[in-house]
Structures are given as structure tokens and as C-alpha cells.
């Protein structure tokens, strides 16, 4: 077992943090075990942050925004960790988020810690590793955690399920896009931020903001918070402070309502259930008795010789 210095991590030492994350991301069972021990120890020191999810199609300006936003926050005395959940990285090594030179200035900043997406994890997948890394960053004193993902599929749901606030970056020029954006994503969003509101696009961005504002008002919102629609320019550093202002607003309102902690508690509970389901499936797949009877049962069910219910019962009984 490697020696690990918890005090170093808690004091904000980057090397200790990077080492702990390496253990979390490792495939070796001994490393996983050590990572779990570290996580148990850091848990009481975690949680003192605001966790922000950021998504948007490739090219919308996510890395430009995170660079501008991160540098602004560092200017405000914050420590900022940037994590990524990249759905493409496990597949054939191709990555949407990882391969360009991104956030150069931010990555050199003293108060910033940037970690690319882990490659596919075993139980719980990439999301599990990102959740664990988030706890480590919090224990190391990072008070704003930005979790970036690409708006192309399932990963938005995973990220929305691990953050306090979920933000969708958009391009000026609603029309077609308004149709194209998945309704589900709109429902996840606590804010839509229309980026590139500068130069010739400024007017269009304002128009787009009006359109999205009406579209968002059509959705029914059950919580205390009505999702905001704003514009910004990551490139020209316009309205970046207003985005932070909105987040501060959200935090104080949700804490007043008791919703902040409640949401985290719910996320933790949901994730536990998710892991239990995954663990059960794994156990099922590895069980020799189940393995032996499965092909026959599948055939019987397909041919209508037994009911799906009866077959499922037999499998459960074999477990
Ligand atoms: P990502 O793929 O979502 O991470 O997008 P990038 O941050 O790589 O940005 C894609 C392109 O849009 C780059 O050429 C950026 O310079 C440009 N871009 C990003 N933000 C802005 C902005 O606020 N205004 C303008 N005009 N261009 C921007």
C-alpha cells in the first residue's frame, strides 16, 4: 500500500490531491480499496463548496467560458477546481473535451486545479470517479467546483445529478436551435446562458434570450427557483460577473429554503440506490447458478413457454 498523507491533502497540497485522484481513478483493486479509505476520511472535510455543472454543444464556448469564469473567481479569492465528464473518452480513446489545449491561463493560475475526464470506471462509471474526485477537491479547499460535460447525450443527466446548479451554455440564434434542444435538458437547467453576445451577435443574442425566456416559462417549475436566461461573452469578458451574481443568489435562496442541503441529500441517496442496482446486476451476472440457467430461461420466455415474471422469480431464487 502506498503511503498517503491526509494532512497534506487537507492543507491543499496539489501533489497530495493529484495522488489521491490517481488512486480513485486506478483500476487496481488495492488502489480502489485505499481510495475508499481516503474518501471515508475526507468526507467530514468535504461539501464546503458550490458545485456547478456546465454543458453545451461543442463550439459553444465551454472552455473559453470556464477560463474566463475561473479567472474571475480566482480574482474574487476563490479556489476553483475544473472536472470533466466526457462521454466520448471511454470509447476508442477519442475525446471531445480533452484533446485541444484548453484553459491555458487558468491552468497556470495558483488557485485553479484542472482535471480531465477519467476514462471509463468500473462500478458507477465515469460519474462515480468524478463524484469522488469532487469530494477530494473540496477537502483540499476548493470552494467552487465546475463540472463540464458535452451536451450530446446521457452525461448531462449524470452531471445534473451531482451538482448544486446546472447551467446550459447556448449560442445566439435561437430559432432552429430552440427546436433542436432536447426538452429534457431544458428541464434540467437552472440557467441558460447565451454565450458569444458580442460584436455583430449581440442583438441576436438578446433576441434569443427573449425567445428562451418565453420557452422556459412554458415549462412548469416546481421548486422555488425559476431558471434564469442570460447573455454573456466569454471571449470579451462581458457579464461573467453577472453569472456569478446569479449563482450567489441561487445559493442564498436555496439555503434559505433549506433546499441546498436537501438536494445534496437526495442526490446522495439516489446515487446509493443507483450503485446498489449496479452491484446487484454484477452479482447476478457473476453468479454461476444464474449463468447456467439464463440461456434456457431466455429461450423459454421468448417462445412463450414461461412468463417473464416466473422466469425472473427463478433467477431471484437462485441468487
Ligand atoms: P467548446 O468546444 O464549447 O469548449 O468551445 P470553445 O471554448 O473551444 O470555443 C469555440 C470557439 O468559439 C473558439 O474559437 C472561441 O474563441 C470562440 N468563442 C468562445 N466564446 C466566445 C465569445 O464569447 N464570443 C465570441 N465571439 N467567440 C467565442
What is the pLDDT at residue 125? 79
Choose one of 72, 198, 235, 238 to mutate for the ligand 1 pocket test, by most ligand atoms within 8 angstroms of C-beta: 235
Count CB atoms within 10 A of the CB of residue 282. Answer: 12
Which pTM was predicted?
0.90
User: What's the 175 CA to ligand 1 centre distance in angstroms?
Assistant: 20
Q: Which three cell numbers stand for residue 241?
A: 460577473
Q: For residue 193, how far is its CA from the centre of ligand 1 (angstroms)?
A: 13
**267 alpha carbon to ligand 1 midpoint, in Å?**
32
| DSSP letter assigned to residue 318 | H
Spell 237-259 as b/e; 16+ CB within 10 A means b: ebbbeebbebbeebeeebeeeeb
Q: Domain boundaries in the chain?
A: 46-257, 271-318
Q: Report how far ligand 1's centroid is from the alpha carbon of 120 (Å).
A: 27
162 touches 264 (CB < 8 A): no
Which numeric CATH code is attached to 46-257? 3.40.50.300
- Residue pair 290/318 in contact (Cβ under 8 Å)? The answer is yes
Tens digit of each residue's pLDDT, the chain (319 residues): 556 788 999 999 999 999 999 999 988 889 989 999 999 999 999 999 999 999 988 889 999 999 999 999 999 999 999 998 876 654 444 455 554 467 889 999 999 999 988 877 666 778 889 999 999 999 999 999 999 987 666 788 889 999 999 999 999 986 555 555 666 777 889 999 999 999 999 999 999 999 888 888 777 667 789 899 999 999 999 999 999 999 999 999 999 999 999 999 999 999 999 999 999 998 998 999 999 999 999 999 999 999 999 999 999 998 8
For ligand 1, the distance from its centroid to the CA atom of residue 61, given in whole angstroms, is: 4
- Residue ranges lining ligand 1, Cβ < 6 Å: 56, 58-64, 195-196, 198, 233-235
The DSSP element (H or E) to which 112 belongs, if any, is strand 112-115
Kindly give the number of the ligand 1 atom that is closest to the alpha carbon of 236: 23
Amino acid at each position: 500500500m502506498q503511503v498517503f498523507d491526509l494532512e497534506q491533502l487537507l492543507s491543499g497540497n496539489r501533489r497530495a490531491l493529484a495522488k489521491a485522484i490517481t488512486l480513485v481513478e486506478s483500476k487496481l483493486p488495492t488502489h480502489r480499496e485505499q481510495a475508499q479509505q481516503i474518501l471515508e476520511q475526507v468526507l467530514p472535510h468535504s461539501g464546503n463548496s458550490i458545485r456547478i455543472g456546465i454543458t453545451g454543444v461543442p463550439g459553444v464556448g465551454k472552455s473559453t467560458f470556464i477560463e474566463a469564469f475561473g479567472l474571475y473567481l480566482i480574482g474574487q479569492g476563490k479556489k476553483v477546481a475544473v472536472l470533466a465528464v466526457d462521454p466520448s473518452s471511454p470509447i476508442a480513446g477519442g475525446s471531445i473535451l480533452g484533446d485541444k489545449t484548453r484553459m491555458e491561463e487558468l491552468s497556470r493560475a495558483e488557485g485553479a486545479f484542472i482535471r480531465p475526464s477519467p476514462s471509463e470506471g468500473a462500478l458507477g462509471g465515469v460519474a462515480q470517479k468524478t463524484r469522488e474526485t469532487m469530494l477530494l477537491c473540496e477537502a483540499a479547499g476548493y470552494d467552487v467546483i465546475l463540472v463540464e460535460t458535452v451536451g450530446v447525450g446521457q452525461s448531462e443527466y449524470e452531471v445534473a445529478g451531482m451538482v448544486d446548479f446546472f447551467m446550459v451554455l447556448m449560442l445566439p440564434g435561437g430559432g432552429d436551435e430552440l427546436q433542436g434542444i432536447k426538452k429534457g435538458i431544458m428541464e434540467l437547467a437552472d440557467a441558460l446562458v447565451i454565450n458569444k453576445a458580442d460584436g455583430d451577435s449581440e442583438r441576436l443574442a438578446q433576441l434569443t434570450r427573449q425567445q428562451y425566456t418565453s420557452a422556459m416559462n412554458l415549462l412548469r417549475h416546481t421548486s422555488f427557483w425559476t431558471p434564469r436566461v442570460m447573455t454573456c461573452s466569454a471571449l470579451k469578458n462581458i457579464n461573467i460577473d453577472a453569472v456569478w451574481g446569479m449563482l450567489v443568489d441561487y445559493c442564498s435562496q436555496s439555503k434559505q429554503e433549506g433546499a441546498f442541503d436537501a438536494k445534496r441529500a437526495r442526490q446522495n441517496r439516489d446515487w446509493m440506490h443507483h450503485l446498489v442496482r449496479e452491484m446487484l446486476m454484477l452479482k447476478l451476472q457473476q453468479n454461476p447458478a444464474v449463468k447456467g440457467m439464463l440461456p434456457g430461461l431466455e429461450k423459454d420466455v421468448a417462445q412463450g413457454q414461461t412468463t417473464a415474471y416466473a422466469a425472473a422469480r427463478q433467477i431471484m431464487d437462485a441468487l
